[in-house]
Amino acid sequence: MVSLKDIAQRCGVSTATVSKALNGQPDIGEDTRSRILRIADELGYMANASARALKTNRSYNIGVVFVDPMHGGLAHEFFSTVLDSIRGEAERHGYDITFINRGVGQRETSYLQHCRYRGVDGVVIASADFTDPMILELVQADLPVVTIDHIFNNRISVVSDNRKGMDALVRYAAARGHRKLALIHGEMTSVTVGRLTGFHRACEELGIRVPERWIRQGVFHDSKSCCALTKELLRGEDRPTCIFFPDDYSCIGGLNAIHEMGLRVPDDISAVGYDGIPLSRIMSPVLTTWRQDTEALGTVAAAKLIELIEHPRTAILDRVIVEGRLQEGGSVENLYR
Amino acid sequence: MVSLKDIAQRCGVSTATVSKALNGQPDIGEDTRSRILRIADELGYMANASARALKTNRSYNIGVVFVDPMHGGLAHEFFSTVLDSIRGEAERHGYDITFINRGVGQRETSYLQHCRYRGVDGVVIASADFTDPMILELVQADLPVVTIDHIFNNRISVVSDNRKGMDALVRYAAARGHRKLALIHGEMTSVTVGRLTGFHRACEELGIRVPERWIRQGVFHDSKSCCALTKELLRGEDRPTCIFFPDDYSCIGGLNAIHEMGLRVPDDISAVGYDGIPLSRIMSPVLTTWRQDTEALGTVAAAKLIELIEHPRTAILDRVIVEGRLQEGGSVENLYR
DNA sequence: TGAAGCTGCGAAAACGATTAAGTAAACATT
DNA sequence: AATGTTTACTTAATCGTTTTCGCAGCTTCA
């Protein structure tokens, strides 16, 4: 590998000079600089990230915590889109990303330890169990952190407005005559709390009473459990006319349940998703859902983190809300027609 | 950050001793070693990966080249599952992964340069344009490489048997009476070549003649284009009874096309996918498809690469075939019944 | 002319780890 | 007792950078 030393030799200068020339320091003569740059290019020089990180304590590497909610969390379009946009934005700023997990090799370690080991400049917590003490340790550590869809005190968080999304969806259905609403929600995370709040407030304001048995807890991104819950909701005489699902993916399980019971969407039962993953657009009928700007979620998280890393004094430690929008598909029937 | 020096001071030994104790070198006394281990633990010591990499030229980091075939390649279940299993296997061996791209920061660079910059110990090329000269440069460099679904000379590759998969699917359909087959395939990569070969050979052996106009080139993972092509296939009088799609995801586009034309699956038209992504199992009807062992694809690729990194002399530079299996869903009609 | 100020570059230390080579003490061998 | 052999450590160099400080040589100005 060609190093500073090689360039220095070829140019008849010291490594210090080469380093400064390449880094654009001002105290290098123009002719010397251009000569160094040319030779560096000729030799195909590329800095050694390890050496640089060792010396400067800056790795240009950001950690991403991505704990699979179910196994294979990455496999879900929602998360992988977020991940991909984090990576894209990081790349644009010259950062690479490293997945942070527990256990470096055989040794079992904490997330924080892994971060220290790799010397990441900061961390995006994209998906995790926020009650896990190791996550708390990480958040409280002296390390730039941005969380997605979860708020910590004095930390930057990028969140989608779950309350608003749910509110909009409820109003959409209500505007089409639906008054018998059922909701299947995910695990009791802050995301779910937001959505439940939105749901209940909207219902209250619209004067819609939702029986307790029509509000069920399921599991995010799990179409199986969603299928089962949907069947329960549809058993018996008194049925909801519209079901709100925890997310688009598990919604598919719900749709299957509906079909299996000999009912059709939206003719007999209306269905509403959440997320707006690409799949929701190519389904038939296109799913009516709340389209989260997953792209922005990841991009903003990465951008904010990098800002925090590079300008720690001026960065504002607060939440950033990423807007979503209603995707009107064909899965909700207009009862007024 | 606590370093070897801190431990050395606390233990009254040299840093060399601490290093050797922690790395399990034999020339350290048992009592000294245990004392060092205890103190290291107390102090929460974690090695500095940069320093170690600088000295040893081993980063315990493997690069992953993942060029989005379409935008958002990561977003597709097939790729993200592969990625996730690469990452899982790497993690099990104490490696982290780094996405390799072109351009470190503002500077435009080659994949190889990026690898050198980060000092990765090896690379998995999971998805890329294999005609790109920069990919070739990478493959020919003096760096352990494993490719997925593409074969290079004297390099390890992990491939799925596309010929066999297609062959099995054709025979499956033929066994149910289908003799009017259509095929939409992806871009002309080696994957497609394998599948086409399998398709044609199976047809020939079964005495099935497929008109040229029923073999169409589409785009992998693009449901839009697939939808359009499907419509073309179904226009006119003489229709195929069974359509083979490039992959499960784009198949959805095909299914939509079928529905839009007032036809039903499988009653009027049978549909066959490829990949066996999770979605294919929760669809209704469940898709009949070739289930690739994506899990194994990633796991084996990572395992092979690590073997190559750690035992370069004994690793066998050859292809590894990952078996798939037919997933019998309900999207192919039995015409004999 | 001498002091002061620039300009452009080099010397050297430092980051945190690994490791070859050296050494002192203990032990074994003849 | 003299000599080799082990054992358990230390010393010091090194990986490739960055960065502080210092130092010439030149210019400027009184």
pLDDT along chain B (337 residues), means of 10: 94 96 93 95 95 97 84 72 92 94 76 95 93 94 95 93 96 97 94 96 96 95 94 92 95 92 92 93 91 95 96 92 95 91
Q: Show Cβ contacts of residue B56 under 8 Å, excluding neighbours closer than 6 positions.
A: none
* CB spacing of B80 vs A81 below 8 angstroms: no
| CB-contacts to strand D (7 A) | A 1, 3-5, 15-16, 19-20, 22-23, 45-48, 51-52, 54-56; B 12-17, 20, 27-33, 51, 54-55
At residue A180 the predicted structure's pLDDT band, cuts being 50, 70 and 90, is very high
- Domains of chain A, CATH where assigned: 4-47 (1.10.260.40), 61-160+295-325 (3.40.50.2300), 162-292 (3.40.50.2300)
Sheet holding A319-322, edge to edge: A96-100, A61-66, A122-127, A145-148, A156-160, A319-322
User: Which chain B residues are Cβ-neighbours of A94 within 8 angstroms?
Assistant: 104-106
B49 contact to strand C (CB, 7 A limit): no
Is the C-beta atom of B5 closer than 7 angstroms to strand C?
yes
Q: Which chain A residue's Cα is nearest to B76?
A: A77
Mutation pick from A59, A78, A96, A247 vs chain B, by most beta carbons of B within 10 Å, is A96
pTM as predicted = 0.91
Between CA B35 and CA B26 the distance in angstroms is: 15
The beta-carbon neighbor of A74 closest among B49, B80, B116 is B80
- A279: which chain B residues are within 8 Å (Cβ-Cβ)? 252, 279
Q: Is the CB of B217 within 7 Å of strand C?
A: no
Q: Which residues pair with A156 in a beta bridge?
A: A146
B248: chain A residues, CB-CB within 8 Å: none
Distance B121 CA to D12 C1' (A): 28
Structure tokens, A272: 């509403």
pLDDT in tens, A245-294: 999 999 999 999 998 899 998 999 999 999 999 889 888 889 999 999 99
- d(CA A268, nearest CA chain B) in Å: 17
Residue burial A73-106, b: 16+ Cβ < 10 Å; e: rest: bbbbbbbbbbbbbbbbbbbebebbbbbbbbebee
Contact criterion met (CB below 8 Å) for A80 and A114? no
Residue A69 pLDDT exceeds 80: no
